[in-house]
């Protein structure tokens, strides 16, 4: 029984110290008061000169300012083997794409997902669709309208790398972003 009571004593002391710290007096900061400035009558203003009429000059039409065309070349979004999880290295590319898409709200985009040759064609088609949807979800969460984005998976079609090497297969695990015409 003494053990239980003796273990409560340090806890009680600790709670008391914490409570005292919370009750510490607050410093009062004096508010500065602004003294009103002395007002004096303004001096008489000098007479205002009327601007001289300048002869009218012929105005030339200004050429319309051309806006810089958006860069729709975003690059590919790469994925790890057997994964539809976005790599953090892809975020800058996706952020650039989202910013460009938001500046052009009437533009429509296609997300084409692909896979390397490992696995069955049915599995690769599903995986590539999941990859395209992961990119779409990121873009929509970044403020792009979901109605402007179409996502599709194409499996092992359209390889950009040699599927006989690991480096080539890694290039084929991707999502491409294309602007629709």
Domain-wise residue ranges, the chain: 77-179
Q: Domain 77-179 is in which class?
A: alpha beta
How much is the average pLDDT of 13-40? 54
In the prediction, which pLDDT does 69 show? 66
pLDDT of residue 177: 95
Do 169 and 116 touch, CB atoms closer than 8 A? yes
Is the pTM here over 0.95, yes or no? no
Between 35 and 96, whose confidence is greater? Answer: 96
Provide Rg for the chain, Cα atoms. Answer: 34
146 or 69: which carries more pLDDT confidence? 146
Pairing between β-strand 109-113 and β-strand 149-153 as defined by DSSP bridges:
parallel
Query: What's the mean per-residue pLDDT of the chain?
Result: 80
Residue 75: which pLDDT band, with cuts at 50, 70 and 90? Answer: confident
pLDDT at 51: 59
Write down the pLDDT at residue 6: 62
């Amino acid at each position: 029984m003494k053990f239980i009571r003796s273990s409560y004593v340090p806890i009680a002391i600790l709670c008391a110290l914490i409570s005292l710290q919370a009750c510490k007096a607050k410093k009062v900061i004096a508010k500065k008061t602004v003294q009103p400035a002395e007002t004096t009558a303004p001096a008489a203003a000098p007479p205002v000169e009327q601007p001289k009429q300048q002869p009218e000059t012929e105005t030339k039409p200004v050429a319309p300012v051309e806006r810089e065309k958006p860069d729709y070349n975003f690059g590919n979004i790469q994925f790890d083997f057997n994964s539809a999880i976005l790599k953090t290295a892809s975020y800058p590319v996706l952020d650039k794409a989202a910013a460009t898409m938001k500046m052009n709200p009437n533009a429509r985009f296609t997300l084409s997902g692909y896979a390397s040759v490992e696995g069955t064609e049915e599995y690769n088609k599903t995986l590539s669709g999941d990859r395209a949807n992961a990119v779409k979800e990121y873009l929509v969460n970044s403020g792009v309208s979901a109605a402007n984005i179409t996502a599709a998976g194409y499996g092992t079609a359209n390889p950009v790398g040699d599927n006989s090497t690991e480096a080539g297969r890694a290039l084929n695990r991707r999502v491409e972003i294309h602007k629709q015409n």
